[in-house]
Structure 1
Amino acid sequence: MAAAQASSYSLWVMPRGPLADKLHAEIKGLAGRTPGAHAFLPHVTLLGGIHTTQADVLQRAQQLAARLKPYRITFDKVSYGAIFHQCVYVLCATDGDIMQAGAATREAYGQDPSSRYMPHLSLLYADISQEERQRMAAAEQQRLLSGEQPLLAGEELGVDVTSLTVWETEESDRSLASWRQLAEYELTG
């Protein structure tokens, strides 16, 4: 009998309701205007690139959810990065709760809990120039957070986190077609 094969998994927290709909519409709009980009569901990654078996990732996620208390993520500003999966994104405030959740997640998966964690909600995955990333981030900052009538205001400036989701996310699949949610666990710590 062959051993279970390790795949690539991610743990996400996901907005729900009208906020999720707004963010998903924004992600779809950006993807539709960017060659080679594909839409995805809005999420803040707790940990990505987890290489283990499905049974192991699910067991650890369930145990982690039993230890984590619900918390709130607050959106800070729109920025951009240099890699495909961090093209244009909304940075999250790095208050104690979100950073503690990130550290607990790393520890649950055998990683250094003090390693760097940059909580963010991606708006676009794409291979575009740094200049284009910068231009898009500035436009999204105005549209979402700081314009005269920002799309995100009041309660929508953040997300109440009450669960975590486990996704199979093969990093090499830039179409995102193989990505799928495997489980969701309520935070009960």
Structure 2
Amino acid sequence: MGKALEGHCLWLVPTADEVTRLQSLIDTLASQEASAPTFHPHITLLHPLGKESTSPPQAITSTLEAAVAQFNKARGATGPIKLTLDKPVAGEKYFQSVLTPVDESGDKSVALRQLRTAVEDAFDERPAVFYPHLSLLYGDLSHERRLELVAEAEKQLEFPREVVVEDAVVVDINGTAPEWKIVARVKL
């Protein structure tokens, strides 16, 4: 069920209450498509990890802890960051079939950009594209079907919505989405 990946990646995860609401929406949308997997709600911070992807989770976690410490030092604070998830849209890729982009207008995503820079520096990774979003459905679907599921997502949960992100996590992505597992958490 779904596409298999290898290695590790880094995610941001919202607070438990918001994860519960988003998980319910993800599960509802996935239940409407026979081939759609369910997965943990997240905003991808860094994927792929490239040369670090096969490192032991402890080494990846140590590097992530150093990046978060650098981020907190630069912002002069510790603790969660707030992000706004825009209205759902139909994506073009399997892992972005239906998604909600992070609002990057004004200074709404400054902290996210600073954290991303700290992580890229710590891991010495510079992926060409950073499109912060929270996926709501994975699948190879027609554009028309994706639009139908966007409308369904908007009926189920109010968007735009503010989410509070407390943790950056290391995720073992060996296998398909239902097999992925968070192996370490680092508090912001």
**TM-score scaled by length of structure 2:** 0.80
**1:64 pairs with 2:67:** yes
Whether the 8 Å contact between 1:99 and 1:117 is mirrored in structure 2 is no
Gap runs ≥5 in structure 1: 1-6, 145-149
Amino acid paired to 2:55: T
Q: 1:133-152: CA deviations, max 9, x gaps?
A: 123224423543xxxxx3x5
Which of the pair is proportionally richer in helix? 2
Give the Cα–Cα distance (whole angstroms) in 2 for the partners of residues 22 and 77 of structure 1. 15
- CA-CA distance at 1:46 after TM superposition: 0.5
CA positional deviation for 1:52? 3.1
| Cα deviation digits, residues 94-152 of structure 1 (max 9, x gap) | 22111222222222221227x421111110111111221123224423543xxxxx3x5
CA RMSD of aligned residues (A): 2.0
Quickly say closer, same or farther: Cα 1:112–1:49, change in 2 above 3 A: closer
| Correspondence for 1:137 among 150, 154, 164 | 150
Deviations 1:48-80 (A, max 9, x none): 222231243222112112223332111122112
Distance 1:143 1:177, change over 3 A: closer
| Equivalent position to 2:55, from 41, 53, 56 | 53
In the aligned structure 1, how far is the partner of 2:54 from the partner of 2:178? 20
User: Equivalent residue for 1:4?
Assistant: none
Partner amino acid for 2:171? W
Structural mapping, 1:105-124, within 5 Å: 105-112=119-126, 115-124=128-137
Residue of 118, 126, 137 corresponding to 2:139: 126
Residue 74 in 1 paired to residue 77 in 2?
no
Count of aligned pairs between the two proteins: 168
The separation in 1 between residues aligned to 2:126 and 2:59, in whole angstroms, is 18
Q: Quote how far apart the aligned CAs of 1:163 are.
A: 1.9
Instruction: Report which of the two has the higher share of strand.
Output: 1
After the TM superposition, which segments of 4 or more aligned residues of structure 1 sit over 4 Å from their partners? none
Q: Answer 1 or 2: higher relative contact order, Cα 8 Å, separation at least 6.
A: 2
Identity of aligned residues (%): 27
